[in-house]
């Protein structure tokens, strides 16, 4: 069939079939791309699980043994932190055709476009040894606040001044940086001597400050000394009515992150670390470059305060597996960033936190295994769809050939028949001519 006039009805049917065949050929390629994407995703999850999570589990079990010193556990914690970063790199860098398959798409958010609020309360230890750190706070607070505000975060600042006694001075919240700096300037150092201070009492007083319900909430404890703790068998000095673990639970219940800018000597850090990691807060070095430490804290506060936007969601990928509308298979994608997996909670500096971390790692591993199994099932489903598409294409091509193409057997038979008839006719004509010539010869 070379033109519609050869077969008017067949022409319309064949064009529909040709469109279906071309669509099936493209669906074949789509499905193969989908299988490749799933294989990429599942392989990356496999790398997260083995060796990373398995190694983390091994380290946590090691750290749960109290024959290790705090320094030994700190070394283990350092390796765990590096493994967390390794997992973060896998999540960040795993792509298929520039599509990030283990985290939401990266969106360049213009400065000032983030909508969010944060309430930050600084708890300043004003004992005699704190003159230098308080001066550092005063010198760097402007850049700290401006970096948060320039990201579009509505910031409200509070201040609590505490000493080695049990009373604290609580300043009201303000949105004016100059007012906050004036409050800082009223703090004067006295007393102390690097002995335990009334940090828990200051936190309790700060909990009484009215904070905005829809704002992220941050406490920043700046101290160079441990805190008084009641004597309940965990090494407390008995000079406080409050308990460290109970105070951490209070902060978590109020959705407040306690960030500590403190010393790094093993005994003090070990005690203060019982406060900050349980609330998902950070522990920063008071003797390090202070501006750098505050910059780290500012970045964390911005991330915590920004409101989730549409781009931060994981939308499923739809694979077109057929030549017609609606013939799709939806492949779910999941966010595996460190915060979503709660890997930042893994801490082994105490036996209790190590035990909790072991349970957390097992739960994360179960989640990863479940998702790997899910992707394996989707790959099988796509491969079944691919086999069906290829079979469909072969049969439809045969049907189209039946409409458009000539029947070679029949046409060959016809050609042979016509050739025989032609040769027979030519032979008969030759014989007749020969007879006619003979008769003419006789008549001569």
Q: Locate the domains of the chain by residue range.
A: 13-105+321-386, 116-308
Residue-level pLDDT at 234 = 57
Give the C-alpha separation, 44 to 93, whole Å. 10
Residue 275 has what DSSP assignment? T
**Does the structure show a pLDDT above 80 at 122?**
yes
Residue-level pLDDT at 11 = 66
DSSP line for 148-169: HHTTTEEEEEEEEEE-SSS-EE
C-alpha Rg value of the chain to the nearest Å: 39
Residue 317 has what DSSP assignment? E
Which of 333, 331, 299 shows the shortest CA–CA distance to 318?
A: 331
Q: In the CATH hierarchy, which fold is given to the domain comprising 116-308?
A: Rossmann fold (3.40.50)
**Does the structure show a pLDDT above 50 at 123?**
yes
Residue 51 has what DSSP assignment? I
pTM of the model: 0.59
Give the C-alpha separation, 433 to 444, whole Å. 17
Any idea which residue has 């799933």 for tokens? 38
Which of 303, 307, 301 shows the shortest CA–CA distance to 155?
A: 301
165 falls in which pLDDT band (50, 70, 90)? low
The contacts of residue 325 (CB under 8 Å, 6+ apart) are none
Residue-level pLDDT at 109 = 45
What are the pLDDT digits (tens) for 274-329?
A: 888 888 888 888 888 878 888 888 888 888 876 554 455 688 999 999 999 999 99
What are the pLDDT digits (tens) for 57-70?
A: 999 999 999 899 98
Span 13-105+321-386: which CATH code? 1.20.1330.10
The contacts of residue 303 (CB under 8 Å, 6+ apart) are none
What are the pLDDT digits (tens) for 222-254?
A: 998 888 888 655 556 677 888 898 899 999 989
């Amino acid at each position: 069939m070379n033109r519609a006039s050869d077969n008017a009805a067949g022409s319309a049917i064949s064009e529909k079939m040709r469109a279906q065949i071309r669509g099936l050929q493209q669906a074949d390629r789509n499905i193969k791309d989908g299988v490749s994407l799933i294989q990429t995703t599942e392989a990356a999850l496999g790398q997260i699980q083995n060796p990373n999570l398995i190694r983390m589990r091994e380290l946590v079990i090691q750290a749960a043994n109290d024959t290790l010193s705090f320094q030994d556990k700190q070394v283990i914690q350092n390796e765990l932190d590096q493994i967390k970063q390794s997992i973060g790199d896998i999540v960040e860098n795993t792509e298929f055709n520039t599509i990030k398959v283990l985290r939401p798409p990266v969106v360049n958010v213009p400065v000032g476009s983030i909508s969010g609020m944060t309430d930050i309360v600084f708890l300043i230890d004003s004992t005699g040894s704190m003159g230098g750190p308080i001066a550092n706070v005063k010198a760097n607070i402007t850049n700290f606040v401006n970096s948060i505000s320039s990201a579009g975060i509505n910031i409200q600042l509070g201040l609590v001044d505490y000493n080695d006694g049990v009373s604290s001075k609580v300043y009201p919240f303000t949105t004016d940086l100059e007012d906050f700096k004036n409050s800082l300037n009223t703090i004067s150092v006295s007393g102390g001597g690097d002995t335990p201070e009334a940090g828990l009492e200051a936190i309790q007083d700060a909990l009484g400050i009215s904070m905005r319900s829809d704002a992220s909430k941050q406490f920043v404890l700046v101290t160079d000394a441990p805190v008084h703790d009641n004597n309940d068998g965990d090494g407390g000095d008995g000079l406080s009515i409050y308990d460290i673990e109970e105070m951490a639970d209070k902060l978590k219940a109020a959705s407040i992150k306690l960030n500590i800018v403190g010393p790094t000597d093993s005994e003090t850090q070990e005690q203060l670390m019982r406060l900050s990691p349980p609330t998902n807060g950070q522990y920063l070095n008071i003797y390090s470059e202070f501006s750098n430490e505050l910059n780290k804290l500012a970045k964390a506060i911005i991330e915590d305060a920004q409101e989730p936007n549409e781009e931060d969601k994981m939308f499923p990928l739809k694979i077109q597996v057929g030549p017609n509308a609606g013939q799709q298979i939806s492949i779910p994608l999941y966010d595996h960033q460190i915060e979503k997996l709660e890997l930042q909670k893994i801490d082994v500096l105490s036996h209790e936190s190590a035990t909790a971390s072991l349970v957390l790692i097992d739960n994360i591993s179960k989640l990863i295994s479940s998702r790997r199994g899910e992707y394996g099932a989707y790959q099988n489903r796509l491969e079944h769809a691919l086999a069906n598409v290829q079979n469909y294409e072969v049969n439809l091509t045969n049907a189209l050939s039946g409409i458009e193409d000539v029947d070679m057997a029949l046409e060959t038979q016809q050609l042979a028949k016509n050739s025989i008839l032609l040769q027979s006719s030519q032979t008969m004509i030759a014989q007749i001519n020969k007879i006619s010539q003979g008769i003419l010869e006789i008549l001569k």
